[in-house]
Amino acid sequence: MKFNPPKKLSEIAELLGLELDGDPDFQVTGINEIHMVEQGDITFVDHPKYYKKALSSAASVVIINQKVERPKGKHLLFSDEPFTAYNSLSKKFRPFQSSARHISDSADIGEGTIIQPGGFIGNHVKIGKNCLIHANVSIYDHSVIGDETIIHSGAVIGGDAFYYKKEAAGYTKMHSTGRAIIGNRVEIGCGTTIDKGVSGDTTVGDGSKLDNMVHVGHDTQIGKNCLFAGQVGIAGVVIVEDDVILWGQVGVQKDLRIGKGAVVLGQSGIGKDLEPNKTYFGSPTRDAREKMKELALIKKLPEIIVELRNK
């Protein structure tokens, strides 16, 4: 999430009640997690294992739970609970705002766009021109939809990231400040759900088509002209390059990349990066031809074992 306009670092330190090592007048541009943070932004780190990564990241401000030497050009905020401090910041600057009506007054809806009955369009949502939003679609605050995009009934755009910190007392919810951004000429099937990013954005590229009940987790980036069949599920932080085809019920684990033009057959389970322009099958996923050979071999096993026993 970006601040608009930027905030003075001293103001943020005071808000959180944290000790500052750095320039109080530094202008903070936004907040983001380590792997997506940009110069000018705040990030947080609460485990020694990631100190180095955070301190050498693009972040200009790091909330950290140990006194460390301040790297040049960076500013530190000390907190016993960096996650909690970061989460407070998220809630403060992007609080949940309830809606009194189906279409928010602050929503910006383009010419020629049709919103069918029961559609919920949240605060600060932008929808382009000539879109068709079918009945009972829900679009959460701050989502962005391009032009000529079709969203079918029951779909949900911009739901919260499924992201918690495990603590002694249970799971603490990370307040999501990211957005869901849908391109032009996209089609989103009935009941499909596209979560917002935790602090960055979940994106669906121009011309991509998602069938019914597809689940796209937070911070996933889907390229252009991808085709996902029914009930595909993608966990968070996945990069899907252009022209990828995922057939029905394929599952994708988090933090991986699917190369341009890859095709994945139905019910496959993807647990690692996939190369471009190859066809995959199986759970866990394998090169489709190898997997087919393997299945054929297994089918012949009983007779192979007889052959070997009689040798």
- Residues marked as catalytic: 218
Q: What is the dihedral of CA 179, 184, 189, 195, to 10 degrees?
A: -10
Q: What is the dihedral of CA 285, 288, 291, 293, to 10 degrees?
A: -170
Is 52 a residue that touches its own copies (CB under 8 A)?
no
Residues in the chain: 311
Is 211 a residue that touches its own copies (CB under 8 A)?
yes
Is 4 a residue that touches its own copies (CB under 8 A)?
no
Is 305 a residue that touches its own copies (CB under 8 A)?
yes
Q: Using CA atoms, how far apart are residues 93 and 85, in angstroms rounded to an integer?
A: 12
Is 284 a residue that touches its own copies (CB under 8 A)?
yes
Pick from 18, 190, 239, 263 the residue near its own copies by CB under 8 A.
Answer: 190
Is 296 a residue that touches its own copies (CB under 8 A)?
no
Contact pattern for its own copies over residues 252 through 271, marking x by CB under 8 A: -x------------xx-x-x
Is 164 a residue that touches its own copies (CB under 8 A)?
yes
Largest CA distance in the chain: 84
Find the shortest distance in angstroms from Cβ 49 to its own copies: 21
Cβ atoms of 282 and 272 closer than 8 Å? no
Is 289 a residue that touches its own copies (CB under 8 A)?
no
Is 288 a residue that touches its own copies (CB under 8 A)?
no
* Adjacent-strand bridge partners of 263: 245, 279
Q: Closer CB to its own copies, residue 75 or residue 134?
A: 134
**To the nearest 5 percent, what fractions of the chain are helix, strand and coil?**
15, 30, 50
Q: Using CA atoms, how far apart are residues 207 and 204, in angstroms rounded to an integer?
A: 9
Q: Closer CB to its own copies, residue 22 or residue 251?
A: 251
Pick from 215, 220, 241, 246 the residue near its own copies by CB under 8 A.
Answer: 215
The label of the residue with tokens 């190859």 reads: 278
Pick from 126, 175, 179, 209 the residue near its own copies by CB under 8 A.
Answer: 209
